[in-house]
Each structure stands twice: as C-alpha cells, then as structure tokens.
Amino acid sequence: MPKIIVAIDGYSSCGKSTTAKLVAKQLNYPYIDTGAMYRAVTLYFLQNHISSTNKREIENALSQIQISFRRHPELGRNDTYLNGLNIEDEIRKMYVSEKVSDVSAIAEVRHALVAQQQRMGKSRGIVMDGRDIGTVVFPHAELKIFMTADPLIRAQRRQLELLEKGELIGLEEIAENLRMRDHIDTNRAESPLRQAEDAVYIDNSLMTLDEQVEMVVRLADERITSSLRSREMKKAK
C-alpha cells in the first residue's frame, strides 16, 4: 500500500491532536505533534532566559536543543523529550502557553523546526498536526485537513484538559489565551496559520470525536486508494 502524509492544521484547542492521534493509530502511522516541538523550544527559552530578538543568541540556543518523542511505557502516550528529559507535562502548563506563540513567530525557530519535521516525514506514512503543515512543511501532502470549532467550545475543552492535569484555570483566562494565540498565529509574518487551498475544512463544534476520526480516516483511505491507482497507471504505461 502506498503511504501518504496526513496534514492537520487549525486553531488552538480545536481537537486537532486528539483526532490526529486516533487517526494515526487506525492507519498504523506515527503521529507528530508539532505544537509540542514549539512548546519545547519555548520551555528552553524560558528556562535559559533567551531573548526573542537577539538573532545570535537564538541561533546558539537552537543548536543546543534536541527534541524527540518516545512512547511512555505505562501510559502508552507519545511523550516529548527536550535534551533527553521528559517535558510532556511541563509544556502543557499555562505559563508555556502564554509564551509559545511569540517564540513560534521567530523565523529562526520556524526554519529549524520545519527542517526537522520534513526529515521526520521523508518516507511518508505519517500524521502531523500544527499550523503550517499543509502549507509549508508538506505542501504536497496527499490529505490536508483544516480544523476549527466554536471559540467557546474550544475554551471549554481546553479547561477540561487542564483540569484533568490538575490545573484549575478560569474560562475567561483560557478564552483570552486562545484569542491571543489565534491572533498571533494568523498574523505573523513567517508562515501564518491559513487554510491550504486544497484542504478539507472541518468544523467539529457539533461533531463527536468518533465522527471526526471516522471522517478523516475515510478521507485518508480514499487518498491511499487514489495513490495506488495512479501508481498502477504509471506502471502500466
């Protein structure tokens, strides 16, 4: 079977990662959470007081950063590692969310992470989610999804997610953080969040998780079949 790239982009907290993870499981593909990579760099910048305007300092910091993903032996989830340390829980905290859009707007940061993401998907057969996957990282992905949901629903989902991790944050604070991140993510000069022309638009406000996953897997199956057909046609020529 030909392997395809599934690129899922969209606004903060619209369920991209949850959907992408389950889609990857059904397709038996690895899943890469690129937001986690930007969060890891943000954590490093915060811990090491890296200025977001000093180009040399940024480039030097980036050369010190190694990001990887490893399976958690008990929880079965894919955890993010920064220079060999598990930072999965730390990068989801609010103080990282407050800074991540600023750090991910830095051109040098984007160039470094996009290059790593392209290496990860070199042999295809991958599900990746983020803000610029279908537009910049893999503009030739076979399946592109642009996902969104009502802002209030997104804030409520995010609040529940944080609560499950023991962080109790008011709905208004979360909604404000999402508004700010959406604004920075869509207005930055370097690869802003936008829907790729050939992306399938999904508003999941009124959809269940199962429905979303089923829809994306069905689309992926269609793309795999058409890749197979065009491969066979090429062979027959």
Q: Which residues bind ligand DC (CB under 6 A)?
A: 12, 34-35, 38-39, 100-101, 104, 130-133, 181, 185
Q: How far is the CB of 28 from ligand DC (least distance, A)?
A: 23
Nearer to ligand DC, 101 or 217 (CB): 101
Q: How far is the CB of 198 from ligand DC (least distance, A)?
A: 18
- Hey, what are 186's tokens? 């869509």
Q: How far is the CB of 182 from ligand DC (least distance, A)?
A: 8
Nearer to ligand DC, 17 or 29 (CB): 17
Cβ neighbours around 17 below 10 Å, total:
18
Question: How far is it, in rounded angstroms, from Cα 136 to Cα 110?
Answer: 10
Helix, strand, coil shares of the chain, percent, nearest 5, are 55, 15, 30
Q: How far is the CB of 107 from ligand DC (least distance, A)?
A: 12
What is the chain's length?
A: 237
Secondary structure of residue 111 in the 3-state scheme: helix
Nearer to ligand DC, 29 or 181 (CB): 181
Nearer to ligand DC, 34 or 220 (CB): 34
Nearer to ligand DC, 101 or 148 (CB): 101
* CB half-sphere exposure, 230, CA atoms < 13 A: 7
Angular region, 13: left φ>0, alpha ψ -120 to 50, beta rest: left
Question: How far is it, in rounded angstroms, from Cα 143 to Cα 219?
Answer: 7
Q: How far is the CB of 54 from ligand DC (least distance, A)?
A: 20
Nearer to ligand DC, 94 or 226 (CB): 94
Strands 78-82 and 67-71: antiparallel
Q: How far is the CB of 17 from ligand DC (least distance, A)?
A: 6
147 in Cβ contact with 16 (< 8 Å): yes
Q: How far is the CB of 147 from ligand DC (least distance, A)?
A: 11
What phi and psi values does residue 93 have, to the nearest 5 degrees?
A: -70, 160
Nearer to ligand DC, 68 or 230 (CB): 68
